[in-house]
Each structure stands twice: as structure tokens, then as C-alpha cells.
Structure 1
């Protein structure tokens, strides 16, 4: 009897170890950088991995790179990554926030051009479609006549069927809609509650409210995702747990007023605090849970499940799906000095992981 009890306990322990080992194996390290803070990534199916680094501190080298293992190459060349303060920013990367691969394999680079997240420099705020054959800009969409110089255009999704792009603006709040054929664009919902972080929400991470200069940090519309049929844009403020959506037919109707658009916004309720998010082809939405070091899935019925929870997921930031994997960048934003009374709390590299879907 005693031996049977011991065997049962050993079996339970082994089962537990297997479960823990399985959970650990869900995350596979793809890339790490011990020095420079990254935010965005874009994975080409069966091809290259692009990573971008925003100019948020003096510890900075390149804006956009391709990565093979932990070896990086400035993209498209070193010269375009060599912007200096006071220079024109229309032909160099100033402060790149996002990179994105569309459904046709097209590469897009989003430069809010606001170093230290302050003001736009060098007239450089723009979305650039790159030609991957020539590694030259194919078309540029400038935001200089659309947004104030305090804006920070944050993330992008591109509909290759309808030829529209949808972008989030995270400082003032709002969604930017770009007709990629005509170049016409507009910023919408910039005064709507759905693009503003809820002032009543306490963003608690690592056991304390995230603060900057003695005030709670409030980051507005950031995560943005496009359903695989192109019919809905999902979006949310970063520092609260609400999720919203709106049909793209309304966003693409440039004749609709702000009042009419506001009436079309759907409040989906409370989910998690996340930075980026992305849909797969089946219509599942993937996002991070910053406060709980987790990756979540929201299915088509808006049921949320936790896929993996692991300590290395330090501020899961941006996502790309390729070859059956979800790629995840971890930017460790909450450990930056400005959110810790000037102390850099980072103790591990900035990373990119992937997990099998």
C-alpha cells in the first residue's frame, strides 16, 4: 500500500513536470538583443525576419534590420538608418515603430518620426511600402498634413483586397484610414472614448501602477487588427482592458461624419491590457496580457483563453504569423527608466519568440 502511494505520488509529480515542460516548450526563442530595445517584427513566410527599433533613448543603432539568428543587417542599408537630428527625415528612418507583412507578402514600414516619443522630426512621419526586389521605397504615404507634430502613429494593418490601410495613433488617440490607391487619408474617432485609455483604470504591472513623472501612464489607441475577410477593424487603448471594433465599410466611407462613425463603434467589453494584436486566417485574435505575462486567444465568439503564461513574456509587444507560428516581440517597456524614477529595471535581453499555432 505504501509502495503504491509512493508510485502514485511519483506519477503525479511526473505528470506535473510534463505539463510544466510542455508549457515551457510552447515558447521558442528566435532572436535576442542584449543592448537595443526593439518593438515590432514582421516575418515573411518561409523567408526573412524584419525587426525594428524605435529611437526612444540614446542607446540606439539601427531603425530596421533583417535578422538571421542574432546577426542583424540594417535594412535596406546603413545610410537609410543613419538619420541625425536636424536632418530631413523623408528619405531616412527617424524613429520606426512598426514593420508589417501583408497577405501578398508586401513589406510596410511605419515611421512616426518622433524620437523619444516627443515631436515629429524632419517631416518624416509616414508609411512606406518597400519593394523587396530592389530594397527601395515603392510608395510613401506622408502623415505630415494630417496629424499634429505631437502625434505618434503606432501600428498598421493593410487590406490588399480593398487596398486600404488602417493605423492607430497612440498619443492623442484615433484611427488613420488610408486609401492606398488614391493616397487620400483621414484621421477618425480621435475624440471618441474608444480610442482613449479609460482614466479610471489602474494599469497595475509588476505589483504597482505604471507611473511617469508622478502620474499614471495613459497610452491611447495602440493595438489594431484586421479580420481575415477585411470587414472589421478591432482596436483598443493600451492601458485599459476594453476592446472595440468597427466595420471597415464605415471607415472607408470618407463621407461619413464623426458623429455617424461614432455610432457604429461596437464595445466588446473587458478582456486584457495588450499592446499589439493580430488575427489568423481562421478569425482568431491573438494578443498579449501585459499584466500577467501571457498570450491570449479570442475566438470568433469572443471567448478568451490563455495559450501560454511565462516569465520571459516581458511586455509582449507586436505579432506576426507565418509558417504556422505566432511570432512575438517582447519590448520590456515597463522596465524603461522613465517608468521607474530613472532606473533601468531590465535584467534580460529584448527578445523575439515564436509558438506553434
Structure 2
């Protein structure tokens, strides 16, 4: 999540001018959602007055979360949940930044995502607190979870982001040694070569990365905001990257080989429409190729199988804007960020990390 800005009439009028994606045959013609017995949901952690968005669980079962700097009352950007307590990660110093202190390379400013891959924690720092514009070049910090030390910092160069960029989520492709990002503030994707640190930006203002609407309807009320390319998921079975605008109803995909090696024209031509879906936030694939994502407008979590059949696996009061997902030991972890519920200060509001069992 996410860039909470309503597009001006000028921008809306330009959407019709976006470059069109290749309209290939969808992977499936299944668009209906069926329901099976809903999973039992277990609360993992709860935070009062601190809005959690990201969660990622390591191979050792360590649970990491992040709190975006959308308001001045954020206590910590990144923490580890230990016995139900929220412990600053990697320490208090890294989480000490405030708007009246200098920007440094050893403090988090506005973290939007945390992702564990092979015992490393990748932390996406948008450097865009309060959605008031990027203060300095966004960064990807990498920590070794053996000793919680910083091992690498990737700094986005000026030519791959904009003043209104909000670098939202990341997926790590170990096979190809690259990372993929979404920009939900200024529509587009980014690719990072993890070996040499070079970035490239693709699909900027493309129809596949641009929001389709300026609102969602949740619990009978309109949540008015325009959020571009947000959810992102890597299917390692078919080496394909899937992505979705938050305020949109179309799932897109593109081959990782084309993303990495193709020209701008190659990439735009290779984008495929996968399916019409519910409006989601984060997304994740399991090892079997099933895709899990939220149905924000219906307080639900959906599973899309290899045949394109979509099933509701969780729904109700314990699913309140399922923002980010992580899979560990047969359980799907997710955050309740409750973005649509917030109308003012949040000192007494509670936000959760929950989990539910998933099976093939």
C-alpha cells in the first residue's frame, strides 16, 4: 500500500491515452468465485495505534513487520514480533528517524515493505513520508538474519523514480539474481540487478500498471483514492511476474526473461491480461502455483489455482484490508491494515497479523 492520492481530472483524462497492452487470450475464462469451508484464523500479533502493512516470516519462523510513515505517531518502521511483543529491528537507532532529523543511510524513513528471502531481510524504504513527495533517493536495505547486520544498500538512481513515486513492494528472484518492484505512486515497475546494483524502469504509465478507478466500495462506503501498480507476485514455476493495480480489477503478467532482457517495446508487447479479479492489495504464490490475494471490497482472501478457479478461503471481521502475505510452515500470514476504516487519529485502533492454514 500505497499512494493515497485522488487523481486530478487532467490525469484521469490521460488514462485513455496510455499505451495498450497486448490483449492475449486470458490464462483462464474462469472469473466466478466459489466458496469452500472457510479457514480458521489465528491472531499472531496485535498493535494498538500503530498501522502495520507488511509482514514476512523467515525460514526459522521469525516474524518481521513494518509500519509505514503515514502519520507522525509512528514509533518504529521495522520490528520483529517476539512472544507477541514488537521489538525494533535491527535496533532502536535504525528506527529513530523523525521529520526534524537529517536523512542518513543508517536510518529508516518511510518503510513500505519487508520481504525475507534465503535468510536475508529486504527492506523497502520509499523515502516518501506522509505522501508528500520523495525526500531523497528510495533505498532497498538488505540484512543478514544470521546476525541482523546490514550487508547491502541499493539506492535508486534519479532516472527510475519520480517526485510522486511510492516504491511499494518487492519480490526477489534468486534464480535470475534480480528484484522486482511496483511503484504505486507513479505507475510502473522497476527491475534491480542484485549483482551489479543497476536498475531499470519499465511500463511507466502503461495501461497494465495504471489504476482503473478512483475508488473502491467497502462495507457500503466509498474509499476514494487512486492507487496504481501495487500487488506483485513471482511465480517461480513458470518464471512469470504477476502484478495488479490496487484500484483496479485486472491481473496482468509478463515473462521474467523478457523483463530482464527485453527492450521497452519487447516488454510492453509481452504483457498479458491474465484475468478479471477482485481489487487486491498484496499477492503471493505458494510452491504449487496457487495465487493468494485479498478481495478488499468484500473483506475476504481468495485463492486462484492453476486452472484459474478462484475460491474464497477466508472472510469476515478478521479480514480487514489484508495488505501483505507471507507463507511459513503451511500457514498464510497476513496483515490487517484497515486502511478504509481510518478517518482520523488512530491511538486506540488495533491492527493485526493473522494466519490461517493453507493446503494444496
The TM-score, its normalising length taken from structure 1, stands at: 0.86
**1:350 corresponds to:** 351
| Aligned counterparts of 2:346 and 2:106: Cα–Cα separation in 1 | 35
Aligned counterparts, 1:139-178, within 5 A: 139-145=152-158, 146-178=160-192
**2:248 corresponds to:** 240
**2:26 corresponds to:** none
Query: How many residue pairs align between the two structures?
Result: 321
| Counterpart secondary structure, 1:252 | helix
Deviation at 1:31, TM superposition (A): 0.5
Q: Give deviations 1:100-140, integer Å, cap 9, x for gaps.
A: 012x232111111111122122x251111111223221111
1:91 to 99, 106, 123: 106
Aligned counterparts, 1:153-302, within 5 A: 153-199=167-213, 202-211=215-224, 217-229=225-237, 231-253=239-261, 256-302=262-308
Q: Summarize the Cα distance change of 1:326–1:352 in structure 2 as closer, same or farther, 3 Å threshold.
A: same
Q: Give deviations 1:319-350, integer Å, cap 9, x for gaps.
A: 1001111001010111223xxxxx45897510
| Aligned counterparts of 2:238 and 2:69: Cα–Cα separation in 1 | 32
**1:71 corresponds to:** 85
Contact 1:89 1:124 in 2 (8 A): no
Unaligned runs of 5+ in 2: 1-35
| Aligned counterparts of 1:280 and 1:159: Cα–Cα separation in 2 | 14
**2:329 corresponds to:** 323
| Counterpart secondary structure, 2:312 | strand
Taking only aligned residues, the RMSD between alpha carbons, in angstroms, comes to 1.9
Larger radius of gyration: 1
Deviation at 1:84, TM superposition (A): 2.4
| Aligned counterparts of 1:25 and 1:196: Cα–Cα separation in 2 | 33
